[in-house]
A and B are shown apart, each in its own frame.
Chain A
Amino acid sequence: MLGLKKSDSRLLLLVAGITLLAPFILNPFPEGSELAQFNAGYPDLMQRFVIFGIFAIGFNILFGLTGYLSFGHAAFLGVGSYAAIWMMKLLTMNIIPAIILSVIVAGLFSLLVGWISLRRSGIYFSILTLAFAQMSYSLAYSVLTPITGGETGLQPKGSDPRILDAALVNGTTPKANLFGLQMGSSFDLTLGSWVFTFNTGFYIAAVIMLISFYLAIRIFRSPFGMMLRAVKSNQNRMNYTGLNSKPYTLAAFVISGMYAGLAGGLMVAMDTQAGPERMFWTASGEVVLMTILGGAGTLIGPVLGAGVIKYMENILSKINSDILHGWFAFLPDGLENLIVNVLYPFIGKGWHLTLGILFMLVVIYLPGGLVEGAQRINRLFKSKSQNDSKAKPEPAE
């Protein structure tokens, strides 16, 4: 299908199925029930799932394939956001020009940064990208305030020129749309006590994510992807065969920068605002966390990681001690308090602690991320069911 191998097209279909049915899958608990707080099927969060999925897919093309660990990818996301918001301010609230421009601008910026940073590798590359990202952040905060809006960021205003759109009626706030279809509009489907929300913005972002996912599969399976893997496994050997690796790594860098720009543009399309905090280095760290947690170098891993982290950020962080007491109310009081006290640092505002521990465990025990974990469990079951005693062939180095 679409030039993919059978297993890849199965993966793509699976991801497409999960993404398009996300409003159902993420809302498994009936409205108003005790467990409804675990529902993640509200538009805002679903949009973030797919947008950060795109960001992580792009980051994975660089880190997962070439092994170059960039600590400054949020800069491209931020630049993309600013490009998109300016398109909305100057041209039209339609999201298509905004997204196209954000991809182009992020691509150009990553070409510049990549061209310089890729002269070094290893830790130096990480520091260089970090330096560029921090510079962009500081500049967006201070000197470039006329362009970036400084600390307050940018929002479309009623008074913006917007050449293509008709002048707005005074007092109405401009809304992002796709040929009149508003991003914020959603449709609620009520089935018994379940409520499922279908949001326009989410579906647009989801379709774009599926396209980017498809492109990522094609890149992974292409000769170009093979070259990138060669860079990761042994760059010296590659150089000795007379190949110059720089064009390949630079292309990978720019592609992943464009993915980041796309994610930034989509973010603006959903919430119509842009601020410098999107470029801060913790934001770059977050996409690293997502990719590693899910599984760097795998296709589905980054999306998975983005989903896990965003779910934790939005759902785990909402649980407070009262809710915990509610859950363990069936236990004797002393035991209840003990359990709540033990668990409390890990949830609610302390969700970062859980994330950090989870991340460390993954790096230590599962270098392949959650995907490797799933594969291991899978293998365990398979070997049990088949009960074969054949020695597993060691992969050749």
Chain B
Amino acid sequence: MEAIVLQILNGLDKGSAYALIALGLTLIFGTLGVVNFAHGALFMIGAFCAVTLSRILTLSHTIIDDTQKDFLGNPLKVEVPYVHDLFGQTTGDAIIDWAVPLSILFAMPIMILIGIVMERGLIRHFYNRPHADQILVTFGLAIVLQEIIKYYFGANPIPTPAPAAFKGSFDFGAMLGFEPNRIIYPYWRIIYFSFAALVVGGVFAFLQFTTFGMVVRAGMADRETVQLLGIDIDRRFTLMFGLAAAVAGLAGVMYTPINAPNYHMGMDFLVLSFVVVVVGGMGSLPGAVLAGFLLGILESFASMREVLNILPGINQIIIYLVAIVILLTRPRGLMGRKGVMED
């Protein structure tokens, strides 16, 4: 029982990342009908937004501190971040410490802007081209974005820690009435999961309860009719692309403390996210989220020692195996709509 709870918890954080990326992919596919291979790159750019912000916050200048002496008795040169000058020592330190959560505010406009520029500048010209061309051009774009990031940030992972308040682990077992210290779970992963749930909920609420969302849903169902009603659906779809980019970017921002970002993290996640989208059903938003969490949890169950003893190596291939089985038995995916890319 404990092991099962633990594995479910372990699967949740990876599942959250899958779900968020798959949600963005599905938003783009459902609205614009484009298969976006550059979506992983957006996830990665989000993560590097967090890196950039924490670098900006720690920008510092040197002052000579007369109160401290080095071993020769000379006054010590001290690096002082500019935020100390602006907000004072304690607040400044707190701001630096909270760089990752603050990056959400920083990354949001950037990601929306990147998404809109991408759609207006490139993807728009590919609506009437075959899916293969869309895959190829976004694949090329992913390579370009990845290389730009590599050029500026280098090839090595850049550790970006979570705020000190969230370091350490939470004894989840004790809360559920198990023995203490058997089921422990890092705080940041709880945050990540809650954040993912919040974003997913926000996106769904936005689509379900706002006029804008209603129009977008109408456009997803029948683009032509909506256009005939005199609604500029293209502009709304562009904004949805921006939103999808922001979702991927935020998933990236919050993932930085779990895994130090490097330039190819996007591609690593992208391949799996595509599998997730296909399993969930192309074009189905709930399907994408459900499949994301399911596959994340499944992957974590497959890496249990008891399972590995029976089926060695299953943890590496379980997701692909599930995808193959689903695609062959239920081509529409778990919750795919009828008639959407069903060939």
The listed residue (B147, B320, B328) touching A350 by CB distance below 8 A is B147
Q: Which residue of B lies closest to A113 (CB)?
A: B324
Q: Say whether B132 contacts A360, CB under 8 Å.
A: no
Report B322 CB to chain A, min CB distance, Å. 9
Q: Is A211 an interface residue (CB 8 A)?
A: no
Q: Are the CB atoms of A139 and B317 closer together than 8 Å?
A: yes
Pick the contact of B327 from A120, A134, A345, A367 — CB < 8 Å?
A120
Q: Is B338 an interface residue (CB 8 A)?
A: no
Contact residues on A (Cβ < 8 Å of other chain), bracket: 35 or more
Assess the B151–A353 pair: CB atoms within 8 A: yes
- When chains A and B are docked, how far (Å) is the Cα of A130 from the Cα of B317? 12
Please measure, in the bound complex, the distance between the C-alpha atom of A352 and the C-alpha atom of B129, giving whole angstroms: 25
Q: Are A123 and B321 in contact, with the CB atoms below 8 A?
A: no
The yes or no answer to A135 lying at the interface (CB within 8 A) is yes
Given contacts A120-B331, A143-B313, A353-B151, contact A360 B320 (CB under 8 A): no
Q: Chain A, 128-164, contact with B by CB distance < 8 Å: what is the 0/1 string? A: 1011101100110111100000000000000000000
A356 and B151 alpha carbons, distance in the complex (Å): 14
Proximity string of chain A (239-253) to chain B, C-beta cutoff 8 Å, 1 when within and 0 when not: 000000000000000
| B323 at interface by CB-CB < 8 Å | yes
Contact A350 B151 (CB under 8 A): yes
A125 vs B343: C-alpha distance in the bound complex, in angstroms? 10
Known contacts being A131-B320, A139-B313, A288-B136, is A359 close to B328, with CB within 8 Å? no
Please give the distance in Å from A89's CB to the nearest CB on chain B. Answer: 23
Cα A216 to Cα B151 with chains together (Å):
40
**Complex formed: what's the CA distance from A116 to B324 in Å?**
9
Per-residue CB contact flags for chain B residues 118-149 toward chain A (1 = under 8 Å, else 0) read 00001001000111110111011111101110
Across the interface, which residues of A come within 8 angstroms of B324, CB to CB? 116, 128, 131-132
Roughly how many angstroms separate A285 CA and B343 CA in the complex, as a whole number? 24
The reply to whether the CB of B316 lies closer than 8 angstroms to some CB of chain A is: yes
A132 CB contacts on chain B under 8 angstroms: 320, 324
Say yes or no: A363-B136 contact (C-beta < 8 A), given A128-B327, A143-B313: yes
Residue from A116, A122, A139, A285 in contact with B328 in the complex, judged by beta carbons closer than 8 Å? A116
Query: Which of chain A's residues 93-132 have a Cβ closer than 8 Å to chain B?
Result: 116, 119-124, 126-128, 130-132
Q: How far is the CB of A44 from chain B (nearest CB, A)?
A: 24
- Is A357 on the interface with B (CB-CB < 8 A)? yes
Compute how far the CA of A285 lies from the CA of B135 in the bound complex, rounded to whole angstroms.
11
B341 at the interface (CB under 8 A from A): yes
Chain A residue nearest in CB terms to B322: A131
Tell me whether B274 and A130 are in contact (CB under 8 A).
Answer: yes
Given known A-B contacts A132-B320, A139-B316, A126 and B135 have beta carbons under 8 A apart: yes
- B323 engages A131 (CB within 8 Å): yes
**What is the size, in residues, of chain B's interface with A at 8 Å between Cβ atoms?**
41
B131 touches A122 (CB 8 A): yes
Closest to A354 in B: B147
Residues from chain B with a CB closer than 8 A to the CB of A360 are: 137, 140-141, 144
How far, in whole Å, are A130 and B319 apart by their CA atoms in the complex? 12
Given A69-B135, A292-B136, A357:B144 Cβ within 8 A? yes
Asked whether B312 is an interface residue with its Cβ less than 8 Å from the other chain, the reply is: yes
Distance to closest chain A CB from B300 (angstroms): 16
- Name the CB-closest residue of A to B133: A363
In the complex, whether B278 has a CB less than 8 A from a CB of chain A is yes
- Secondary structure type dominating chain A contacts: helix
Q: Is the CB of B343 within 8 A of A122?
A: yes
Chain B residues within an 8 Å CB radius of A359: 136, 139-140, 143
Interface membership of B245, Cβ < 8 A: no
Summarize B's interface: helix, strand, loop or mixed: helix
Please encode chain A, from 350 to 392, with 1 for each CB lying within 8 Å of some chain B CB and 0 for all others.
1011011101100110010000000000000000000000000
Q: Does B220 contact A (CB under 8 A)?
A: no
List residues of chain B with CB within 8 A of the CB of A141: 316
Q: Please, which residue of chain B has its CB at the minimum distance from the CB of A127? A: B278
A138 touches B343 (CB 8 A): no
A120-B136 contact, Cβ under 8 Å, with A141-B316, A356-B147: no
Q: Is the CB of B343 within 8 A of A127?
A: no
Interface string of B92-131 (1 = CB under 8 A from A): 0000000000000000000000000000001001000111
By the criterion CB–CB under 8 Å, are A353 and B320 in contact?
no
Closest Cβ of chain A to B249, distance in Å, is: 20
Is A130 a contact of B271 with CB atoms below 8 Å?
yes
Within 8 A of A (CB), among B11-39: 35
Task: Specify which chain A residues have a CB less than 8 angstroms from the CB of B151 in the assembled complex.
Answer: 345, 350, 353
Question: Across the interface, which residues of B come within 8 angstroms of A135, CB to CB?
Answer: 316-317, 320-321
Cβ contacts under 8 Å, A126 to chain B: 135
Residues of B within 8 A of A367 (CB): 129, 133
Does B183 sit within 8 A of A, measured CB to CB? no
Given the complex of chains A and B, what is the CA–CA distance between A233 and B116 in angstroms?
33
A69 to B132, CA, bound (A): 7
Tell me, rounded to whole Å, the shortest Cβ–Cβ distance linking A59 to chain B: 13
B275 at the interface (CB under 8 A from A): yes
Cα distance A350–B153 in the bound complex, in angstroms: 13
Q: A67 within 8 Å of B by Cβ? A: yes
The 0/1 profile, CB within 8 Å of A marked 1, for residues 306-321 of chain B is 0000001100110011
| Bound complex: CA A131 to CA B323 (Å) | 8
**Chain A, Cβ-Cβ closest to B147:** A353
A281 and B271 form a contact (CB under 8 A): yes
Q: Are B343 and A120 in contact (CB under 8 A)?
A: yes
Within 8 Å of chain A (Cβ to Cβ): is B216? Answer: no
Question: CB of B282 within 8 A of chain A?
Answer: yes
A218 and B267 CA atoms in complex are apart in Å by: 38
Q: Which one, B139, B320, B331, contacts A285 given CB within 8 A?
A: B139
4 closest pairs, A vs B, by CB? A143-B313, A356-B143, A138-B316, A353-B147
A-B contacts, 22 of them at CB < 8 A, read A121-B343, A123-B278, A123-B341, A124-B343, A128-B327, A134-B271, A134-B317, A138-B320, A142-B313, A143-B312, A281-B271, A288-B136, A292-B136, A345-B151, A352-B143, A353-B143, A353-B148, A355-B143, A357-B140, A360-B137, A363-B136, A363-B140
| Residues of chain B whose beta carbon lies under 8 Å from any beta carbon of chain A | 35, 122, 125, 129-133, 135-137, 139-144, 146-148, 150-151, 267, 271, 274-275, 278, 282, 312-313, 316-317, 320-321, 323-324, 327-328, 331, 341, 343
Q: Give residues in A with beta carbon < 8 Å to B.
A: 67, 69, 116, 119-124, 126-128, 130-132, 134-135, 138-139, 141-144, 281-282, 285, 288, 292, 345, 350, 352-353, 355-357, 359-360, 363-364, 367
Additional A-B contact list (18), CB under 8 Å, known A120-B327, A123-B278:
A67-B132, A122-B131, A123-B282, A124-B343, A130-B274, A132-B320, A134-B320, A138-B317, A138-B320, A139-B317, A285-B139, A288-B139, A353-B148, A355-B143, A356-B144, A363-B137, A364-B125, A367-B133
